Amino acid sequence: MPQRISSIRKGHSRPQVTADLGFLAELSGTWEGFGFNLIGRPDKQGGSPVFLELNQTFETLSFTPISSTIPNRGFAVDDIELFGLTYLQKITDTVTGGALHIEPGIWIHIPSQDCGEIRSVARMGNIPHGNSVLAQGSAIKLDPFDGNPFDPDKVAAANTAPFPVADAFPTTATPPGTGKGMPVPGTLSGFPPYDLSNLTPASINFRTPAGNAPPIALPTTILGVPMQDVILDPTKLLTAALSGQTISNMVVINIATVPSLLQQQPIPSSGVQPPPVDILEDVEGAGGGIENIPFLQTNADAATMFATFWIEEISAPSQFLQLQYVQTVFLNFPVLGSNPVNNLTWPHVSVATLQKTFGGQ
């Protein structure tokens, strides 16, 4: 007969808390660093098809372990215990100093759904716009990992989920939770703010912080990456941040608000195109969802979110811990003034490279 979980919960020893958190344990502490944010959003006042917001960012991300167990009482199945960390994410614009994002939430490890060396994890977050997110997925530790996680040959050799390219352009809209539709033909020419060679007022007035008053010019490069390439794929900034670094081991975390998420693997030096990989296939009952207040549901419905996090142990040129991530949220809203109404899915892409500053040791 299954043993009932105790109703009295008290804090465990530090080694036990670390063990219970599994591959999430290294998140504990405070991380700081720089990143980039790209979001196409509605522009009712300006009359443009879309307001393209581009932000260079500074981020503080703090995690605090929950020292006691989190019991979930069963009925159809036995009781289970969860283990987690609370977090607080704060992001500002490095050019203007303005606030961009604040998000409290919880990460949890779900041991009952672990699959061998693949650990089941989930993230719950609350965003002041009026969204609540539940994304489930997996964590795996690659130890040793010799090289760069964005090298297709290293990814293939480690047999891990691929490094995702972040497609920043709109597609035809799909029902909530089902991902993206077909690419919009002629995206660069159809939506001028995405094309930096387009210097018409309709384009430059809707790129931020260039859209500020007075306007602030966009940089030509970030970390040596041309700005147009950053817009095409913001994850190029993650690759650039690893220049000169050596990773000895890392934890790869993939989460999504849908039960299945196919990602195309990068092409190795062999030139053979690998088939897409379902990064959630080893997680039992993976998935989750996004809930929005009615205003957002009407104006910019957040339909799907997915993210990859890398906790990297850097061994050269010095030893330290690094956290990189790419997160994409699909927003569904129509092109204003289009006839017929053309409802599209607009990616909101965020990337960052952070290093641990205080706590968590």
pTM of the model: 0.90
Longest dimension (CA), the chain: 72
Q: What percent of the chain has pLDDT over 70?
A: 81
More confident residue, 69 or 338: 69
Name the β-bridge partners of 59: 33, 91
- Give percent of the chain above pLDDT 90: 41
| 224 or 78, which is more confident | 224
Tens digits of per-residue pLDDT, 211-227? 777 778 889 999 999 99
Task: Give the dihedral sign, CA 205/206/207/212.
Answer: positive
Q: Domains in the chain, ordered, with CATH?
A: 14-358 (2.40.128.20)
For the stretch 225-281, pLDDT in tens is 999 999 988 999 999 999 888 888 899 999 999 887 766 666 666 666 666 667 676
Taking CA 100 as the corner, what is the angle to CA 292 and CA 54, rounded to the nearest 5 degrees?
100
Inter-residue contact 347 to 166 (CB < 8 Å): yes
Give the pLDDT of residue 344.
84
Residue 292, amino acid: N
Computed over every residue of the chain, the mean pLDDT equals 84
